Amino acid sequence: MSDTSSGPRTLEVSLGSRSYPIHIGPGLLGQPDALAPWLAGRQVMIVTNEVVAPLYLERCRASLPAGVEVRELVLPDGEATKTLASVEKIWDALLEAGFNRRCTLVALGGGVIGDMVGFAAACYQRGVAFIQVPTTLLSQVDSSVGGKTGVNHPLGKNMIGAFWQPRAVLIDTDTLATLPPRELSAGLAEVIKYGLIRDVDFLAWLEREMAALRDLAPAAMARAIERGCAIKAEIVAEDETEQGVRALLNLGHTFGHAIEAHQGYGVWLHGEAVGAGMLMAAELSARLGWLGDAEVARARAIIEAAGLPLAAPADRSVEDFLARMRLDKKNIDSRLRLVLLRALGDACVHDETPPALLEALIETFPRVG
Please tell me which residue in 59, 232, 324, 350 is annotated as part of the active site: 232
Distance of CA 222 to the CA centre of its chain: 17
Neighbour tally for 317: CB within 10 Å: 11
> Between helices 293-305 and 181-198, what is the axis angle to 10°?
150
Please tell me which residue in 253, 262, 330, 337 is annotated as part of the active site: 253
Please tell me which residue in 158, 240, 250, 272 is annotated as part of the active site: 250
Q: Read off φ and ψ for residue 77, nearest 5 degrees.
A: -95, 155
Please tell me which residue in 9, 89, 148, 198 is annotated as part of the active site: 148
Closest CA to 205 of 213, 183, 143, 23: 213
Q: Dihedral of CA 197/301/112/55: which sign?
A: negative
Is 250 in the active site? Answer: yes
Q: Read off φ and ψ for residue 139, nearest 5 degrees.
A: -70, -30
CB 280 within 8 A of CB 334: no
Is 190 in the active site? Answer: yes
Please tell me which residue in 242, 260, 272, 283 is annotated as part of the active site: 242
Is 126 in the active site? Answer: yes
Is 246 in the active site? Answer: yes
CB 135 within 8 A of CB 52: yes
Please tell me which residue in 79, 190, 260, 272 is annotated as part of the active site: 190
Please tell me which residue in 82, 257, 324, 350 is annotated as part of the active site: 257
Q: Read off φ and ψ for residue 288, nearest 5 degrees.
A: -85, -5
CB 124 within 8 A of CB 94: yes
Is 324 in the active site? Answer: no
Rounded distance between C-alpha atoms, residue 177 and residue 223, angstroms: 16
Query: Counting every residue, how long is the chain?
Result: 369
Long-range pairs, 354-357, Cβ under 8 A, ≥24: 357/284, 357/287, 357/288
> Between helices 181-198 and 270-287, what is the axis angle to 10°?
30
Rounded distance between C-alpha atoms, residue 221 and residue 184, angstroms: 11
Is 49 in the active site? Answer: no
Please tell me which residue in 89, 223, 270, 298 is annotated as part of the active site: 270
Is 253 in the active site? Answer: yes
Is 182 in the active site? Answer: no
Backbone torsion region of residue 42, taken as left when φ is above 0, otherwise alpha when ψ lies between -120 and 50, otherwise beta:
alpha
Burial of 211 (0-12, 13-18, 19+ CB in 10 A): exposed
Please tell me which residue in 82, 89, 227, 246 is annotated as part of the active site: 246
CA dihedral 54, 56, 60, 61 (to 10 degrees): 30
Strands 338-343 and 346-350: antiparallel
**Which residues are the active-site residues?**
126, 148, 190, 232, 242, 246, 250, 253, 257, 270
